[in-house]
């Protein structure tokens, strides 16, 4: 069977607090990437700002997005608590959009440029 399923997933910190600090953001993204790789999924892009994370992933049809997000949020929360911030927590839930293969590049760029996207021009 051939399939390519792409998902753009977003989740926030608890109460949308700006708790994803620059000091550990890179480590967090690497850790999330390892979780995804270990599960056999394919990370295409990861980005975000202080209060939320975006990922673009390709997963096989036998896997579910809810399983993906549950694994990422539970493991990454534990990672942050043990290494950086003992009070860290993710907000419950997440947002997800299916992405067609023709939109992958555009969504990847959007995710990788989250900081620029969220800048306030004064």
In this prediction, residue 117 carries a pLDDT of: 74
CATH number at 70 reads 3.30.70.1290
40 belongs to a structural domain: yes
Owning domain of residue 56: 5-92
Residue 1: pLDDT band with limits 50, 70, 90: low
**The total number of structural domains that make up the chain:** 1
102 belongs to a structural domain: no
31 belongs to a structural domain: yes
Cβ within 8 Å of residue 32, ≥6 positions away: 43, 46, 53, 55, 72, 76
Helix (H, G, I), strand (E, B) or coil at 98: strand
114 belongs to a structural domain: no
pTM attached to this predicted model: 0.91
80 belongs to a structural domain: yes
Over residues 61-71, the pLDDT tens digits come to: 888 899 999 99
Q: Quick one: 58 exposed, middle or buried, by C-beta within 10 A (0-12, 13-18, 19+)?
A: middle
85 belongs to a structural domain: yes
110 belongs to a structural domain: no
- Say which residue the tokens 């949308």 belong to: 16
Over residues 23-61, the pLDDT tens digits come to: 999 999 999 999 999 988 999 999 999 999 999 999 888
61 belongs to a structural domain: yes
């Amino acid at each position: 069977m051939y399939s390519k399923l792409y998902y753009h997933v977003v989740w926030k910190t608890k109460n949308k607090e700006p708790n994803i600090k620059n000091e550990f953001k890179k480590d967090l993204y690497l850790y999330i990437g390892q979780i995804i790789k270990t599960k056999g999924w394919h990370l295409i892009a990861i980005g975000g700002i202080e209060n939320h994370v975006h990922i673009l992933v390709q997963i096989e049809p036998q896997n579910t997005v809810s399983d993906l997000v549950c694994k990422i949020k539970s493991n990454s929360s534990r990672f942050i608590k043990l290494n950086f911030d003992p009070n860290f927590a993710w907000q419950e839930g997440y947002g997800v959009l299916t992405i067609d293969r023709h939109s992958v590049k555009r969504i990847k760029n959007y995710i990788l440029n989250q900081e620029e996207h969220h800048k306030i021009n004064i």
